[in-house]
């Protein structure tokens, strides 16, 4: 069941600091990647990656994920979000998503590190539990 996010959590998601996405490998071991995120139009958390990487494989195998963030100047101010992937898509919409993330994080209109033939995929995460420490 989705939960309501506090204004502090929303501000962190809307900020430019990196988040860490934890997924589970098929053998049960954890996998963590620094990632860019933003809100999707429907209020879910949007994560974009490229096909062929561990993130899409793992999120399709087991849709339970965790996201974490720590304030750069005070890492004791942190957020942990548990959630589940509820949707995914590819194509022009996913390509536009990586460009919007590049605009947010780099100030560039187009994602500069596309590889030839790379196919982007967007996953939408529904938060199910949030822990926020404000120290």
At 135, is the pLDDT very low, low, confident or very high (cuts 50, 70, 90)? low
d(CA 48, CA 27): 23
Report, in angstroms and rounded to the nearest whole number, the Rg of the chain calculated over CA atoms.
Answer: 14
Residues 92, 98, 103, 107, CA torsion sign: negative
- On the question of pLDDT at 134 being above 80, the answer is yes
Say what percent of the chain tops pLDDT 70: 99
pLDDT at 106: 97
d(CA 35, CA 30): 16
Domains (ranges, CATH) in the chain? Answer: 7-133 (2.30.110.10)
Per-residue pLDDT tens for 86-104? 999 999 999 999 999 999 9
Mean of the pLDDT values across residues 57-75?
Answer: 96
Residues 128 and 3: beta-carbon distance below 8 Å: yes
């Amino acid at each position: 069941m989705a939960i309501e996010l506090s204004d502090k959590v929303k501000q962190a998601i809307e900020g430019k600091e990196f988040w860490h996405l934890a997924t589970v490998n098929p053998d049960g071991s954890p996998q963590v990647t620094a990632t860019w995120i933003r809100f999707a139009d429907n209020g879910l958390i949007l994560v974009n990656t490229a096909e062929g990487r561990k993130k899409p494989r793992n999120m399709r195998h087991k849709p339970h994920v965790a996201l974490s963030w720590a304030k750069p100047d005070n890492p004791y101010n942190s957020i942990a979000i548990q959630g589940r992937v509820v949707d995914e898509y590819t194509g022009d919409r996913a390509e536009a998503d990586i460009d919007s993330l590049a605009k947010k994080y780099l100030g560039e209109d187009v994602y500069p590190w596309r590889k030839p033939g790379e196919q982007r995929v967007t996953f939408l995460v529904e938060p199910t539990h949030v822990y926020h420490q404000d120290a």
